[in-house]
Chains A and B, each alone.
Chain A
Amino acid sequence: MKIVIIGAGPAGLYAGLLIKKAHPSYDISIIERNPAEVTYGWGVVFSDRTLASFQRADYKTYEQIRDHFVIWNDIDTRYRGETIRCGGHVIASISRKLLLNILQRRCAELGISLTFGREIFGLSELGAYDLLIAADGINSIVRKAYESIFKPSIELGKARYIWLGANKVLDAFTFIFRENEHGLFQVHAYPFSGTTSTFIVECDEATWLSAGLDQADEAQSLAFCQRLLARDLNGAQLLSNNSKWINFATLKTQHWHHQNIVLLGDAAHTAHFSIGSGTKLAMEDAIALAGALEEHSDLETALNEYELERKPVVETFQRAAQESQTYFETLKRYLGLEPMQFTFQLLTRSGRITYDDLRLRDIHFVEAVDRWFMYRASTSIETKGPYYDYQPMVVPPTVAQGNIAPPPAFAPVQLRDLIIPNRLVFAHATHKASAYYPLEDGMLSEDYANQLGSLALAGAGLVITDFVAVSAGGRITPDCPGMYDASHESAWHWMICFFHGNTFAKLALQLNHAGRRGSTRSRAEGLDRPLRDGNWPLLSASSLPYTPQSQVPEAMDRDDMEQVRDDFVRAAQMAGEAGIDMLQLCMGHGYLLASFLSPLTNKRTDEYGGDLQHRMRYPLEVFDAVRAVWPQGKPISVALSITDGVKGGFMIEDAIIVAKTLKERGCDIIQVLAGQTTMDGEPAYGRGFLTALSDRVRNEAGIPTMVAGYLTSSNEVNTILAAGRADLCLIDSPYLNDTAWITPTNIDLKHYLLSLIEAGQLERQVEEHGW
C-alpha cells in the first residue's frame, strides 16, 4: 500500500509513524512545504488523558515527550491587581519544535520518506497512491480541491490575537487581564520549557485599532506588548517568531473522507486556542486513523470508522471551544465582577468544569470562593423593621475568621427589605383543582395549598406560585387560582400565615393575565386546548390566535387596557393586604403582557405597537401602576421571555433593554424565561438551558436574575451562583410536582390551620408575624 501524507506537523508525522509501525511493508512518504527546521508557534499543551493515549499508541515517542514535558497544576488569574490561584489541573506542555523533532526522528527510524521544502500546488503532482492523508493544516490544498464534497465552513473570531514567546519561566498557566486607555487585553500564558513560555495576547477589534496595532509591524507589535506586560514580564523579553495579529478561524468540515482521501487535524477542524486542544485533537485523530486502518482491511470501512469515532469527539470540543471563545470575546460584561467571582466564572466558562469539579481539584480555592460569597451576601444585608425577623445576616464568625462557610446556595440575599434566607427557589407545583372539590372562580385549591406548604417546609428560601389570574377573564384554565375576590385574599392570607408561622421561606405571588392563551383546558390534558364549552372571550395585543385551534382574541382597545391595568393594581393591593412577601409579574411565555413585547404578536399601529420603545409601553404602564401601590419595602420580580427563539422576534438585545428599563422603574429581579411566545419558538431543552441567557441579562443589564432550566443538583446551583450567572435558582425535581410525594406525615395544611384557629393561636401568630 502506498500512502502519501501532505504536511509534517504533529498530525501528519504521528499518523505516518503509527501506520508504519503497524504495517512496516507500507510505502509511506510525507511531504512538507517548509524546510525541516522551520516551525511556527511556541509551546503546545496536553492533558494527562491525552498523554495516556500517547503512551498506548507509541511508547518510544511517549518516553521522549515525557522527558521534555513541563507539567504544572495551577491556573493563575491576574485581574485588578490580584492574583488568584486554583490548583489541581494537570496540564503538560512541550515546545512545538521539540515535539516535531521527536516525531521526525521516529519517522526516519521507521523508514518513512520525509521530504521538506516541497510545496504541492495540485493533487496531480502526487502521482499514484492508495491513500492520501491531508494533514496540511487549515489552508489544506487537498480539502480545497474537493470543497464541494468535504463541505468546509470557516468562521472568523471577532478578537485579534498574536502568538508570542517569552524568555520567562512561569509556574502556572496564567491568565492576565490588563486594561489601558485603548481597552482590555487578555493574555493566555504558559511555560513549555525550562527557559521559555508562550504568551498569547488577545484583544477586541476596537481596542486593537485604538492602539494602532493595525499599522504596527512585527517589531512594533512586540514592543507594544512588552510595554503592556512590563509588570508581568518583570524584566524578561517577549519573543516573536514571524508573529502576526490574526483572527482565530474555526473550521468545521461536514465530511472527513472521500474515496481514498482523508482529512486529519487542522485540515478537518480547528478549535479556539483558549481550551488548548488543537494539537491534542490532531494527534488523537492520527491515533484513531492508524487504529481504524489496522482493524479494517477494507479502506472505505476504515475511513468510515475513523470519521465516526472522531467526529463526535471533535464536535464536543468545538462546542466547548466556542463557549470559551465567546466568553473571551464578550469578556467586557464581566469586568464588574470582583476578582474571586471573575476567576470562578473564567474557570467554569466552557461548561465542562463545575463547582464540584473544582472542589475536587482544589478544595482551598473553592472554600475561599464559599467564604467570599457568604461574606459578600451577609455584609450586604441590612435589617430593617420587625417584620423581617430572620437573622442570619450577621457574618458568621467562621466566615469572618477565614474558616468555613456554607456553599453559595445557602447564602441569604436581600431584595429591598425582604431577606430571602437561601438561594433555592421552588416553583414547580402546578395548580390543579382537587378531584373531590372542583373549584371555580379562582379559589386556591386545597391540594395546591398543601403543595405550596410542603415546598416551604422542604427548605426553599423562596416559593413562587403558579400563575395567579388578576381577573376571571385572565385565567388560563377554569381551575386557575386568582386574586380578584375577597375570598381569594383571605385564602392567600392563610397561606402566608402558614409560611411565616412554620417556615423561613418567603412567598412570591405570580400575577398573570393569560391573554390569548386563556380559556383552555387543564394543562394535564395538554397545552392550549380550548375548552369544550363555556369559553370566555380573550384579549391580546393583536387579534392573532395562539394555535390554529385557539379562539381568536380581540385586540385590546384603550378601555380594555385600563381595565386590565386596574385588575393588576387591584390584585397587587389585595396581595399587599394578604401580607404576601413579593410579587412577580408575568411578561413571558406569550401571555397578555408578553404579547405586547414581541413583534410577532404585536401588530398594533397605535402608540403601543411598532418599535420596542412602543411595544414595551403598555407592560411598563402596568408595572408602574403596580409598583405604585405595592409596599415600598417589598420587591417585585418580572418573568420575562428573553428570546422568542424565532427569526424576526423579540431577541436578547431587546430583553436587555427591557430589563434595564424595568430596573430603573423599580423592578428588583428578573426571572429568565425563553420561548412560548408563539408555537414555533421552543428552546433547545436540556440541563441548564436558560443559564447562558440569565448570565447575559444579569451581567449586561446589571439586574439580579432568577433562573430555572431543569436544575436538579446542588452542583449546578452552586456553579451558577458562584460564577455570577444568576442570583437565585429555581430547583426542579420530578418529585416536587408529584402530589403523591406529599404524605400525611408532611403536612395537612387545612387541619393545621383549623387546629390553630380552634386553639386561638392564629391571632397570636398574626400579632407576632404580621401578614
Chain B
Amino acid sequence: MQVGVGLPTGVPGTHGQLVIEWAQRADEGPFSSLGVIDRLAYDSYEPLIALAVAAGVTRRVKLATTIVIGLLHNTAMLAKMSATLDTISNGRLVLGLAAGAREEDYIAAGVDYRARGKRLSEQLAALRSLWEDDRLRPAAARPHGPPILVGGLSDSGFARMARYTDGYVHGGGPPRAFARAADKVFAAWSDAGRPGRPQLWAQGYFALGDDEVIEKGRRYMRDYYAFTGPFAERIAAGLLTTPQAIAQFIRGYEDAGCDELVLFPTVSDLAQLDRLAGVLHGLGRRLS
C-alpha cells in the first residue's frame, strides 16, 4: 500500500500560496499522491484547478481527486479538463468521482439532486468515449484515459464501480468499515467478470500537534460534516491525532487490501505536512 497526502484545499481560509508550497514539499516525499476533495457550497478550492496548479510544481506524485462531484460538471467539459490535466502532468491523474451527499452543492450549481446514481452511471459511460473523441483533443496521456475510481456505499454503487471504472475510493472510517466495503468491491468486480484487480483507494483525516491544533482539527471536522447531524461528532472523534493512531490506521488499511491511502490535513499549516512526513519516515516509509 502507498500513502499519499491531501492538499489543504478543503480547509477554510487556506492561503493560495500554501497550496503551492504544500504540493512542492509533498513531491519531495515520502508521499505517493496528492489528493483533493470537492465541495461547492463551502469555503474550499476547486479540486481540478488546484490539481492543475499542483501539476505545475510537481514531477512525481500522482494527482488524485477523492472525489470530484462529477454531476456538478458538464460531462464533456469534465472530460476535457481531466484529459488536459492528465496530459500536462504526464499521466499522473487519478480521477475519483462520486455523487456526493450534500444537496446544498447541487442547489448552488442549479443541478437536479434526484436520480443522481442513474445520472452518474450515464456520466461514467460517456467519459471514456469522450476521451477517445478526436474532436475533443488533447487525448489523455494514456490510451484509455486516466484511471477512474468511484465512491459511495449504496448497493447500486458497487455495481456501477464494477461496470464502468477501474476501482473504488472509500469515503473514510475505521479499517473494519473499509474491509466490508472492499468485500463488496471484489464481489461486484468478480461478478462482472472484469479481468485483473480493482484499485482500492481510501482516505483519512489527521491533525498532529498540541491540544490547540487537535481541537482546531476537530472543529473543522464537525463543521465539514455538519450535514450528517449527530454523526459529525463521531466522525470528529475518528480524527487521527497521534503517530500511533496513524500507524495503526495505515496498518489496518493495508491489511484490508487498500492500495493507496490518502491522509488529509484538517489544519492548513505546513508544519502538519512535516509532522506527517516525520511519522511516515518513522514507519520506514521512503520515497517510492
- Assess the B186–A732 pair: CB atoms within 8 A: yes
Q: Say yes or no for A524: interface residue by CB 8 A criterion.
A: yes
Contact A304 B159 (CB under 8 A): no
The answer to whether A686 touches B193, judged by C-beta atoms less than 8 angstroms apart, is no
User: B122, B159, B164: which has the most chain A beta carbons within 10 Å?
Assistant: B159
User: A668-686 vs B: 1/0 string, CB under 8 Å?
Assistant: 0000000110011011111
Task: Enumerate chain A residues within 8 angstroms of B188, measured Cβ to Cβ.
Answer: 682, 685
Give 1 or 0 for each of B177-218: 1 = CB within 8 Å of chain A CB. 000100110111011111111000000000000000000000
A738 adjacent to chain B (CB < 8 Å)? yes
User: Given A308-B234, A526-B165, A529-B128, are A682 and B159 also a contact pair (CB < 8 Å)?
Assistant: yes
- Inter-chain contact B190/A738, CB cutoff 8 Å: no
Which chain B residues in 121-180 approach chain A with CB under 8 Å? Answer: 121-122, 125, 128-129, 132, 144, 155-156, 158-159, 162-165, 180
Task: Tell me the B210-231 residues at the A interface (CB within 8 Å).
Answer: 230-231
Q: Tell me the number of A-to-B contacts counted with CB atoms below 8 Å.
A: 92
Q: Which residues 682-726 of A have a CB within 8 angstroms of B? A: 682-687, 689, 708-710
A423 CB-CB contact with B under 8 Å:
no
Say whether, besides A686-B183, A686-B187, A308 and B197 are in contact (CB < 8 Å). no
Is A82 in contact with chain B by the CB < 8 A criterion? no
B128 contacts A526, C-beta separation under 8 Å:
yes
Of A428, A523, A709, which contacts B187 at CB under 8 A? A709
21 CB < 8 A contacts A-B: A304-B230, A428-B190, A522-B195, A523-B195, A524-B196, A525-B144, A526-B128, A527-B162, A527-B193, A529-B125, A676-B192, A682-B158, A685-B158, A686-B180, A686-B183, A689-B187, A708-B191, A709-B187, A710-B191, A732-B187, A737-B195
Neighbouring B residues of A738 by C-beta, 8 Å: 196-197
Q: Nearest Cβ in chain A — how far from B199, in angstroms?
A: 12
Main secondary structure of the interface of A (DSSP, over half): loop
The answer to whether B195 touches A683 (Cβ under 8 A) is no
A548 to B192, CA, bound (A): 19
Report the bound CA distance from A80 to B183 in whole Å. Answer: 39
On whether A685 and B234 interact (CB within 8 A), knowing A526-B128, A526-B164, the answer reads no
Pick from B158, B192, B257: contact of A527, CB below 8 A.
Answer: B192
Complex formed: what's the CA distance from A676 to B187 in Å?
Answer: 14
Question: By the criterion CB–CB under 8 Å, are B234 and A686 in contact?
Answer: no
Q: Is the CB of A686 within 8 A of B231?
A: no
Counting from the closest, the 3 A-B pairs by CB-CB distance are A682-B159, A710-B187, A430-B195
Instruction: Give bound CA distance, A165 to B264, whole Å.
Output: 60
Q: In the assembly, what is the distance between CA of A308 and CA of B230, in Å? A: 8
User: Which residues of A sit under 8 angstroms from B159, Cβ to Cβ?
Assistant: 675, 682-683, 685
Additional A-B contacts beyond A547-B125, A682-B158, A686-B180 (13; CB < 8 A): A428-B190, A526-B125, A527-B192, A532-B132, A549-B125, A549-B129, A675-B191, A680-B156, A685-B191, A686-B187, A734-B186, A734-B257, A738-B197
Known: A684-B155, A685-B159, A710-B183. A308 touches B231 (CB 8 A): yes
Min C-beta distance of A302 to chain B, whole Å:
11
Which chain A positions have C-beta within 8 A of B144? 525
User: How far, in angstroms, from A432 to B122 measured CA to CA in the complex?
Assistant: 26
Contacts A684-B155, A737-B197; is A523 near B192 (CB within 8 Å)?
A: yes
Chain A neighbourhood of B190, CB < 8 A: 428, 708, 710, 732, 737
Among B121, B180, B194, residue most surrounded by chain A Cβ atoms (within 10 Å)? B194
In the complex, which residues 47-89 of chain B have their Cβ closer than 8 Å to any Cβ of chain A?
A: none
Which residues of the partner chain A approach B184 to less than 8 Å between Cβ atoms?
685-686
A524 with B195, Cβ < 8 A, contacts A308-B231, A685-B158, A687-B183 known: yes
